[in-house]
Structure formats: structure tokens, C-alpha cells
Structure 1
């Protein structure tokens, strides 16, 4: 049957730029803007939400969407492979829309938190967009498009912060969630209208019990890490999350290794994919922790004699905007490089840049010019790592497994961000000092924080070098087909 829309399958994969491909890129880049409006934009109005609900538990308002996104990701990734990537992307956007509406009208925290959990499904839009691109484009141009799609909305994200802040002052924080619901609904219609459905399907069924076990396990363990710092490490609630999460993960691992069609077949995760996921975990956690540190340094004056600080050296507004500009450049640039030298080498290059930039923050903690340079290059690292991670994982998967493999990258990004953010925050808290009656971060804490991030980047770099040597000349390795099927003729031509 003939399909219509941007990138129609009746004309084959895109191998060059055209109006249809530009339209596909524009739609999917705006889809990724929905993710920001649902996951990170609410931080702008976090104080207003705390006052409205009369609580000091910021983690319940902030972390639940990200944690829910981790729980949603494997289920939606597997569903996309079986039922179609466009169909699942539309459903994902509609779930985010419903969650945003619930948050906008929630009279209490008990309804607001479930709304945030529904919004967390939007996290799947990132890897579903990547899977759609890899199915609609030839490999070389697809790597570039992945970079644009995953990083192109960064400039919009910067501009939206100022608009949201102004609107929230006039109409209340609920306006953010109404706008998020509107954008999600509009983009669901655009995806349904303009993005063709992929004809590639993975025969099988959804392992519902495995999805529940994995989701509960990831959510429980990460929930403990995220919430215990606010609620208490030995409080009954966080401990219950840890016990339930650990038990669920153990049960999922034992059961999935015996099922014929598990949600994630751990027997099919070869060494290259495992190395890729470990690199993404360490590098994503490191850069996220550094992005969290930058505004903390920018709020401190060197005149406080803490051994660091940038607030009295000029405007630090650029310091907060520089990473966003770097992301916009880093994603497409890494995609362009991957098409020429291979995604493994590009991933290793991105990790190398991240290691150097993080070490540079030892100087940037007290020198604004160095901090501006490091902030921009850190943004380049963010864009390059995300793009390279998706491109590398995608090159290791057959067309029938793009959804689930891409979801694993997103899961590792989220887990790394939560874990390294927690480690950094714990270091700062344990080394804080009291200055004029106020608690402040010490130089020991700040530089230890930078040292931990640098060490994680260094380990990631070692693993990335091993990955380059493991793959064929640093390029695309031959993707494994499902165990029950032979590779398609088109896939064989791509390998050749």
C-alpha cells in the first residue's frame, strides 16, 4: 500500500537532502522540544509549585517524570518494534499531553505526581525519533540527521525559559503544563500526518510481566537514589523503594534469561553494545553532573574567599546559555563525523573532549573566560555524546530491533544522570562550610566534584578506546539479525 507523508517509504530511504527530508527533520526536532517542556522546563517554576502544594519535597515534583521515563522506555521501545514506530510515538505524545493536563488541574500533590509520571513517557520521543530516522534514511545521511533531531531544539529550549518565566508570573505555573499539553497534542497530529509508518516489524508479543518487573526495578532503585537525599536515607518510604526495586530487578534478570521473547534479550547484548552502554552511562552522568555544578559556581563571588566563584567577574548569564549553544553544534557535527570515520571513533572523540573540558573546570571554577569556554565545549560534548551513542547503538542493531536498542541508550543516559548527580550532591553536602551563618559549598567539595566527573570520563574514554578496537576499523559493525530470522536483502546490501 502506498504511504504518504514526509519521507514516504515508496521512494526508498533518503540518501540526500530534499524538501521531504527537511520536513521530517523539522517535525522530529519539534517532537524533541516536547520532551524538554515535559521533563526539564518545570524546573523554571519549581519554587511556585512548592508554594502551591505546600511541600518542600522537590524530588517528588522534579524527579518523578525522569524516573517514570526510565520505566516507560523499554516497554515503548519494544512496542515500537512490534507495532510501528510512528504509532507508538503518537501514543507517547498523547500520554504526555494527558499527563500535562492532569498536572495543570491537579488540586493536590497526589494527583500532580501521577500526572508527572504520565509526562515521563515523553522521554521515549527521543529514541523513537532516532529509530524513525534510521529507518527513513540511508546510514551516512542518517547519522547527520540523528544529530540534528536530537540537538536541534536546544536553541528553542533556551528561548522558552524566558517566555515560561514571564507567563508563570502573570498566570501561575499551571500555564506551563497547559502549553506543554498543547504542544504535545499538536506534535502528535503532525507526526500522524507527516511521518510515514515504517514497514519493518518484529514478529512477537509484548512481555508485559517483564516490562512491569523491569520498570518497577529501575524506578525503585533510582527512586531511592533520587528521593532519599530529601526524605532520609533510612526513611521507610525510600527503603521500601530500594527493596522492591532490587527484588524486581533480580526477578526480571532470572526470568528474562529463560523466556523465548523477553522484553530485553540479555543474551543478544554483545560486547560492542555492552561497551557502548557503559560509555554512555559514565559519560552522560559526568556531563550532567558538570551542568549541575556550573550554576552553583556562577552564584558564588570570588570575594567570599571560598577558593572559587565567578559572580563578581562579569555577567554569568552567558555561562548558563553557552552549553545550549554548544549542544546545537555538537549534535550535527558528530553526526557528520560519524558518517566519515564511524560512530565508534566519533564516540571516543566526544568522550575525549568531555574529559579535557571537565579537567579545564579546575581553572574555570575561578576564571570566567575559562568557564565560558568550558561551558560551551561541555555543550558540544553533550550533543556529540548523545548523537554518537544513538548512532553507535543503532549500527549494532538490525532494523527490527532499532526501537528497543535505542531505548537502552536512553535508559543509560537517565541512570547515569541520576547516579552521578547524586554522587556530586553528596560530595558537596558532606564538605560544605558555614560562612557568615550561611552554609556554602567548600573549595574541597567543588574540586572533588570536578575530580569525580573527570575520573568517570577517563574510565569512559578507556572503554571507548576498547570499543573502537572491537569494532571493524572504528566503523559500523555488522548488525546482528534476530535469532529466528535471516537478515533482509536490504540489510545485506547495507553491510556490503
Structure 2
């Protein structure tokens, strides 16, 4: 009997993949592309609070993810993805027209809903494709937009110079609404849904708790760790998270049933948290070492060894390769083994950055391989987590992967920034990062990757034991 799932490539499937790749391009336009015009935004609003302008969308995305993931399981993945894109469009328009930072920041929070498009795309692929081909397509969908990201960087920089930073948000709004129309017309709605209602109170508690604690980590370095605002975020976040945990452990229809997560899924989420955070901390370090010359005799630096533009593009090129290859491998050796291989590669490559911080050829090689790592990590992480969930829970389980990626990025980026700041030295009257700080950041990321490797190996063993038990 036919299941109605795609089992091989055809015209309809190619169209679906193309649309979902563009959907993930919307995520980049909403979350990371504004970094290109960050100095212009700071000047326009007359502020030095870069974190408010930059990190707000990511933090809001963490709050949006569980709510939209659960909604997708109940009301349909395509429908919620359309809503997600329209929310991102509305937020981008608010940002483009914002007369002050107090209007711009809420716009960024609304635009941060786009983060949910990543895991919703994965859930849609798993709903319409047979498992074997779905693994490959997840790799393409989660990493295929990297080539568009590279090309768009140059275009956005030129347009921003001519028309102002607002043009970025107008483009993001246009692409988001165009993709909402394409999703509505091209992608079928999944017939599998979960009866129930949205635990709005639980969603607000969980999202608010995560956002509050991450907001303290992200904004505290700019505003002061003991400032009223960050402390209020921390206190509110801890209280909301504690309240959510107590309520969810007793509620029959909670947003996330903490009693039903299971050991393998928890291991997967920990691996994603450590590995994704380590990668992000290295990505944060790359432009810093690329802006320093060896002539400054700081013990690191690449600026005088040739063009470093490729250094910034190399990770994106690696992502394009890592995602599809991980999907192909997952279909043959299993998602858990592929995930373990990805974090092992990340450990070796990150340790290689001890050499890469002072030699451009090595830095280019390791930056590319870091991109391969993160492409493989994203693909295999979603596939492993999705394998532990029934068809009715794909949305909420996939959202947990995205939440852990975001938390890891914020936490490890903060750790790296704090290390660099605490070890900075003064040279010719200017404060600069020291070699001690740079090498310490590489060491921290290497250790985190190594711990993730140990956990990933334990996950592989656990899944093999479970498979053996089921076979018996």
C-alpha cells in the first residue's frame, strides 16, 4: 500500500526543497544579516547598546520556538510555518520604519519568530518524505541557503551604503512574505496532527524563563552585571523557569512533558548545546584574529598574510558540504553515528585552530572544516532528535534542538567574550586581545567539543543497545 510519501526525487519534491531552502534564507536575513549594518544602526539610534539591536532577535526566537513547535503539532506544520514567516515580515517592517530604539527592539523580537522556520522545515520534510530520502533532504534544507548567504552579503553592503540600513529589513520583509505565499501554494499540509490545545501559560513561562536568563548573559556585559535591567531579567527568568518546571511536571497537556524526554533525547540535546556553542565561539573569534597583523607581535594575527575575506566565507562553504553529506551518511550508518562523527571532527578542527590563529592557510582549512562540522551537526542533530519522537510530536521535539543551539551560542559566545576581556592587554595606548585570551578561547571550545564527543559516543552505544533490545 502506498504511504503517499516521497521515496525518490521528482518535480514536486524538487520544488518543495527549493522553497524550504529559501525559507531558511529568511532565517539568516532575520537573525544574522543585521550584523552587517550594526554600526549604522548604532549611529542612527544614537546608542552603544549593540546587544539590544543584535541579540534580541535570537533571544526572542528562543521564546517563540516551543510555542510554534507545539502549535505545528496541533494545527499543522505548513500553517504554522506560514504564520511564522508573516510574523517575521511584520517584525522586519517595524524595524525598517522604527523612529527610535524603543520601537526597533520590539520589531526585532517579532522578527525573531523566523528562527522557528528552521525546525519547522525539518519537521515538514520528515512528514512528506520516506525516512531514507528525508535524511538527505534535511541536510540540503538546513544548509543549502549558505550559498545564498555568501552572495547576499556583498549585495546588502552595497545597498546599505546607498539607501541606509533600513533596506536590509525591507528586503527581509519582502522575502518573508514571498516565501509565505510559496509555502502556502507548494507545500502540502501534513495530515498527522495532535489533538489538544496550546498551553499558552506554559509557553509564556518557558519562553520568558529562557529569554530572561539568556538576556542576562547576553546583555549583562554591555549594561553591567549588577545593573537593574539585567538583574531583573535574571530574576524573572529563574522564577519563570522554576514555575514552568513545577507546573509542567503535573500538567497532563503541558507544552513539553519533562517526564517523557528520555535519556537518549537529553543526551542529544546536550551534544547539540556543547558543539553548537563551541562552533559559535570560534566563529566569533575568526574576525578578531583576522583583524590583527603579526607585525603587532601579539602572538597571533592574520591580517598581513593575504586576503582574509575568504576566512569569513570559508565556514559557509563548509556548511554547504557538511549538511548534505551528513544526510547521506545518516541514511547509511545512522544519524547517531553521524552526529558522533561530526563532533569528533569538530574536536580535531577546533584544536587545529591553535595553529590557525597565526597562519592563514591553516586558518582557511580549519574554518572550512568548522563549517563542515556545523552543517553535519545541524542535520544529524535534527535527525537524531526526530527519531526519538512520534510523528505527532515532531514539531515540539525539533524546536528543542533549535532552543539548545541558541542557548549554546549565547552561553559560549559570552564565555569567549568574557575571557578575551579579562585577558586584554594595552599596546601603544590601545586595549587589544592578548594571545593568552585567544588561545584560552580555543582551549575552551576544544574542551567543550571533547565533552560533546564523549556524550555522542555514549548516545551511539545507548541507541545500539535499545535497537538490540527491540530486535530481541
Of 151, 154, 176 in structure 1, the residue corresponding to residue 168 of structure 2 is: 176
Of 179, 187, 194 in structure 1, the residue corresponding to residue 179 of structure 2 is: 187
Partner residue in 2 for 1:196: 188
Of 442, 463, 470 in structure 1, the residue corresponding to residue 455 of structure 2 is: 463
The structure 1 segments of at least 4 consecutive aligned residues displaced by more than 2 Å after TM superposition are 472-478
Partner residue in 2 for 1:153: 145
SS of 2:411's equivalent? helix
Partner residue in 2 for 1:453: 445
Residues 1:268 and 2:260 aligned together: yes
Residues 1:428 and 2:428 aligned together: no
SS of 1:280's equivalent? helix
Partners of 1:450 and 1:407 in 2: how far apart?
29
Deviation digits for residues 350-382 of structure 1, max 9, x if unmatched? 000000000000000111111010000000001
Partners of 2:465 and 2:438 in 1: how far apart?
39
Q: What is the 5 A alignment of 1:346-361?
A: 346-361=338-353
Partners of 1:410 and 1:11 in 2: how far apart?
29
SS of 2:125's equivalent? helix
Of 15, 19, 22 in structure 1, the residue corresponding to residue 11 of structure 2 is: 19
Partner residue in 1 for 2:94: 102
Partner residue in 2 for 1:3: none
SS of 2:426's equivalent? strand
Partner residue in 2 for 1:419: 411
Q: How far does residue 64 in structure 1 lie from its aligned partner after superposition?
A: 0.3
Alignment size in residue pairs: 471
Change (3 A) 1:317 1:232: same
SS of 1:32's equivalent? helix
Partner residue in 2 for 1:70: 62
Partners of 1:75 and 1:187 in 2: how far apart?
21
Deviation digits for residues 140-160 of structure 1, max 9, x if unmatched? 110110000000000100110
Partners of 1:477 and 1:450 in 2: how far apart?
41
Of 225, 231, 246 in structure 2, the residue corresponding to residue 239 of structure 1 is: 231
Of 360, 370, 373 in structure 2, the residue corresponding to residue 368 of structure 1 is: 360
Q: What is the 5 A alignment of 1:103-118?
A: 103-118=95-110
**TM-score (normalizing by structure 2):** 0.98
SS of 1:439's equivalent? strand
Change (3 A) 1:223 1:335: same
Q: How far does residue 11 in structure 1 lie from its aligned partner after superposition?
A: 6.8
**TM-score (normalizing by structure 1):** 0.94
Deviation digits for residues 13-54 of structure 1, max 9, x if unmatched? 111111111111100000000000000000100011001100
Change (3 A) 1:477 1:153: farther
SS of 1:107's equivalent? coil
SS of 1:203's equivalent? coil
Partners of 1:21 and 1:396 in 2: how far apart?
25
Of 313, 321, 324 in structure 1, the residue corresponding to residue 316 of structure 2 is: 324
Partner residue in 2 for 1:5: none
Query: Are the equivalent residues in 2 in contact too, given 1:396–1:476 (CA < 8 A)?
Result: no
Q: What is the 5 A alignment of 1:19-418?
A: 19-418=11-410
Deviation digits for residues 185-228 of structure 1, max 9, x if unmatched? 00000000000000001111111110010011001000000000
| Of 15-24 and 228-237, the range deviating more from structure 2 | 15-24
SS of 2:214's equivalent? helix
Change (3 A) 1:476 1:245: farther
Partners of 1:339 and 1:473 in 2: how far apart?
19
Q: How far does residue 72 in structure 1 lie from its aligned partner after superposition?
A: 0.2
Q: How far does residue 472 in structure 1 lie from its aligned partner after superposition?
A: 2.4
Q: How far does residue 473 in structure 1 lie from its aligned partner after superposition?
A: 6.6
Deviation digits for residues 166-194 of structure 1, max 9, x if unmatched? 00100011100000000000000000000
Partners of 2:439 and 2:271 in 1: how far apart?
23
Change (3 A) 1:352 1:375: same
Change (3 A) 1:190 1:354: same
Residue ranges of structure 1 left out of the alignment (5+ in a row): 1-9, 479-494
Deviation digits for residues 361-420 of structure 1, max 9, x if unmatched? 000011111101000000000100000100000111100000000000000000000000
Deviation digits for residues 325-360 of structure 1, max 9, x if unmatched? 000000000000000000000000000000000000
